[in-house]
Structure 1
């Protein structure tokens, strides 16, 4: 069973790598992005899209963790206020 899981995982990783490689090879047109007057160097579209994906994958969990911590802080403050009100 353990070997089957490894084989499925390896197949999934190889399939994902093939899809990414196909995407990169199909999107070689260059594009130059301009944001607030700052112009980035011209790079292939695939680089821009993959960079946005990686940035999103990094920022998303950080924002989620911040939201969880903020929610826990609110719950603790509410519990503290309720405990003070009961006394």
Structure 2
């Protein structure tokens, strides 16, 4: 079963890598980003999107670790 899981993970990683590669190759038009007065140099659109994706992938798990987990109320015993 571990072998199947490894193959599935490898195939999914390969598919994601190919999709990212296709996205980068299709979005090579240069743009400049202005955010709160900070202006970047001209870079391809794909650079900004991939950087935003990576930042989101890093911030998401960090925020979920600090969020308080809801406490479950103990359920009363069923009456028969």
TM over 0.5: yes
The number of residue pairs the alignment matches comes to 71
The Cα RMSD (Å) is 1.6
Higher helix content, 1 or 2: 1
Q: What is the SS of the residue equivalent to 2:28?
A: coil
**Unaligned stretches of 5+ residues in structure 1:** 76-87
Tell me the TM-score normalized by structure 1: 0.72
1:20-69 CA distances to partner (integer Å, 9 max, x unpaired)?
1000000001110112222111110000001001111111122222212x
Tell me the TM-score normalized by structure 2: 0.78
**Unaligned stretches of 5+ residues in structure 2:** 72-80
- Counterpart Cα distance in 2 of 1:23 and 1:42: 18
Larger Rg, first or second structure (1 or 2): 1
